[in-house]
Structures are given as structure tokens and as C-alpha cells.
Amino acid sequence: MGKVIDMIIQKQFISSLASRKMRIDKRGQEEFRDITIEPGVIAKAEGSARVKIGKTEVIAGVKMSVGTPFPDRPDEGVLMIGAEFSPIASPDFEKGPPAEDAIELARVVDRGIRESGAIDLKKLCIKEKEKTWMVFVDIHILNHAGNLIDAAGLASIAALLTCKMPEYDEEAGTVNYEKKHKKLPMKFKPVPITVFKMSDSLFLDPNLEEEDVMSVSLTVTTKDDGNIVALQKGGSHGLSLEEIEKAFELSLKKGEEIRKLLEKHI
């Protein structure tokens, strides 16, 4: 992960607060920073959303086109999710191909959306084995202030929920981006929640400095019915089974709250 401030005394300060279950910005253990969800920020995209969690800012844009389905899924739409850690967002992001953090983020968000069946991919099929809608979700980090996965996951799902499909002229084989009416067929709203550990206690929504201090994290993606659809442990330490169970509890609860927030904005 990109390191910004490595001052030992600062890290020690945060750790000692954490051992008393307190945080440097005075939040509670399970408290998220302020979340804002703004749908439709990119006019030319089929769907888009800007999400802010505290000062972390992420934009997800959805573009659609028509192409051939995957050979092993001939009757389904194609979904691709990518992430760019633009150098504007942090002194630690470099120009060039995605680094492992960006790749991991995209794959974790993808897992949540794909495994949950959030998009009804079967309804995107135009002609079995030949033509199908392709959905591209691109995540663009604008400011890195910690907890990128949760912000990116939320932005992606918000963008998909507001996505309007362009029209496809079967005869001409062209896509008309000027006419967008039908909503993308969505079934679920998966939400990733990252639980992290500092000084033997579990917390939610790490800010940038907390990410430097954290020993280990577990991102749990849950969907509307309370099922877990994706898990990703991160960090150089381990977790006990008890901690994993606690993380499930925390992420389920918070996932539900955030889903309700989503419903309000979309």
C-alpha cells in the first residue's frame, strides 16, 4: 500500500489510541466518515457516480457496447471492471500500468458484483453465442485518503444502479448513445466493507494514517439477503477465526446501513 507518512511517533500515537479503542479523528470503532453519493456526474457515461468517504474520492463510470459473449457463457452479458490509481490522487501513485493494489481493488469489486449476480447478465444477451451487451465499469481514484475498496465498491454499484442502456440497432449493428432509456437490469446491491485491526481491536473505515498502522484487514462483501459473496484478507499479519466472525458481524450491519443510504440517493 502507498505509504505517505512513516513517522514512528505518529504511528505509535495512533496505536496507543487504538489500544484504548480510540481513534485519531475521534470516531467510534464502527463509525464511518461522512459518505456522499452523487449519481450521474459524468454525462457521456451510461452510468456514473462519485462517492466520497471522508476525503477519499472515487468516480466510477459505466460504458456499454455490443460485442461477442464469452464462449463458456454464450447467453450472458460481459462484465469487466478496471481501476486506475491516477497519480493525481496520491504522491504514492505512479504513472504506468496498474500496480498490485489497483489490480486487487478491481478484482475484489468485480468479485462482489459478479458473485452476487448483481447485474442480471442473462437479460443482456442479444443473440445467443453471437451478440451481447458488454458492461465496462471503470474506477478512477481522485483522492486517496484511505479505504479505497469500500469507496470504489460503493461507487461502482451506484453507477450501475443509475446506468441507462443505449439503443442497439440490430439491423445496422450500431449502438445509439444519444438514446438511453432502459435501466440496466439489476438484482442486488453488493457492498464491500473493510474491517481492519489495530492493536488487537477491530475498526471500520481506515483513514490514510490508520492504513499505515493497521496490521491486517478483511474486506467482506455482503448482499441484500445477508449472504457473503466475497472475502479478501489483506496485510502482513494473520487473523483468528474469532476475529473473522466478528468481522462478518460488523460488515453485515454496516453493509445494510450503506445499502439503505444507496436507496436514498438512487
Partner 1 sequence: MKEFKRDDGRKPDELRPIVIKVGVIEQADGSALVSLGKTTAIAAVYGPRSMHPKWKQASDRAVLQTFYSMAPFSTSERVRPGPSRRSQEISKVTREALEPAVFLEEFPKTGIDVFIDIIQADAGTRTAGINAASVALADAGIPMRDLVAAVAAGKIDEHFVLDLGGKEEEVTKCDVPVAYMPRKKQITLLQMDGDLPPEETKEVIKTAIKGCEILYEKQKQALREKWVR
Is residue 4 near partner 1 by the rule CB under 8 A?
no
Position 248 contacts partner 1 (CB under 8 A): yes
Q: What angle do CA 87, 88, 94 make, to 5 degrees?
A: 10
C-alpha cell at 6: 512513516
Phi, psi of 53 (to 5 degrees): -120, 105
∠ CA 30-11-202, nearest 5°, is 25
| Stretch of 20-28, 174-182, 218-226, 255-263 lying at the interface with partner 1 (CB under 8 A) | 218-226
Closest CA to 108 of 63, 65, 75, 157: 157
Residues near 43 by Cβ (< 8 Å), separated by ≥ 6?
A: none
Least CB distance to partner 1 at residue 229 (A): 5
Stretch that binds partner 1, among 59-67, 197-205, 235-243, 255-263 (CB under 8 A): 235-243
Q: What is the DSSP letter of 123?
A: G
Q: Is 245 in the site for partner 1 (CB under 8 A)?
A: yes
Q: Nearest approach, Cβ of 232 to partner 1 (angstroms)?
A: 6
**CB 165, min distance to partner 1, A:** 25
Site for partner 1 in 50-109 (CB under 8 A): 98, 100-101, 103-104, 106-107
Instruction: Tell which residue, 184, 206, 185, has the closest CA to residue 195.
Output: 206
Check residue 13 for interaction with partner 1 (CB under 8 A): no
Binding site for partner 1 (CB under 8 A): 98, 100-101, 103-104, 106-107, 111, 115-117, 218, 223, 226-241, 244-245, 248-249, 252
